[in-house]
Amino acid sequence: GAVVSQHPSWVICKSGTSVKIECRSLDFQATTMFWYRQFPKQSLMLMATSNEGSKATYEQGVEKDKFLINHASLTLSTLTVTSAHPEDSSFYICSAPNPTTSGGAGETQYFGPGTRLLVL
């Protein structure tokens, strides 16, 4: 099946620093990727839609200047948490629709393994 990877798998940083998380589609091209945040014992909340070659679309309440998204190629999207604070500590997960499944409709989304961020 389709594989989506994330790097790093976990990161610990000091408050005020920036952290970059990478999301890669390994065996398919992804013009669209999605970024989610998940707090302990809660569901996944969509943060933004990453579009290759254009600006990301952010969900209501998500600060675009704090969570910078870059989709520079058809296999890579990055999420940068700028000036991270302890409240940004969370599990960040990306997903990508695979156009080679679901009859080419790109409806089936495959998720990365997640990146756990701890801000001290």
Partner 1 sequence: GESVGLHLPTLSVQEGDNSIINCAYSNSASDYFIWYKQESGKGPQFIIDIRSNMDKRQGQRVTVLLNKTVKHLSLQIAATQPGDSAVYFCAETLSGGYQKVTFGTGTKLQVIP
89 makes contact with partner 1 (CB under 8 A): no
CB of 90 to partner 1, least distance (A): 13
Closest CA to 95 of 27, 40, 32, 41: 32
Q: Does 45 bind partner 1 (CB under 8 A)?
A: yes
- According to the binding rule CB under 8 A, does residue 7 interact with partner 1? no
Query: How far is Cα 66 from Cα 63, in angstroms, rounded to an integer?
Result: 5
In the list 21, 77, 84, 99, the residue contacting partner 1 (rule: CB under 8 A) is 99
What is the C-alpha separation between 54 and 10, in angstroms, rounded?
A: 28
Which sign does the torsion angle of CA 81, 94, 36, 48 carry?
positive
Which residues lie near partner 1 (CB under 8 A)?
1, 4, 6, 31-32, 34, 36, 42-46, 49, 93, 95, 97, 99, 102, 105-114, 116
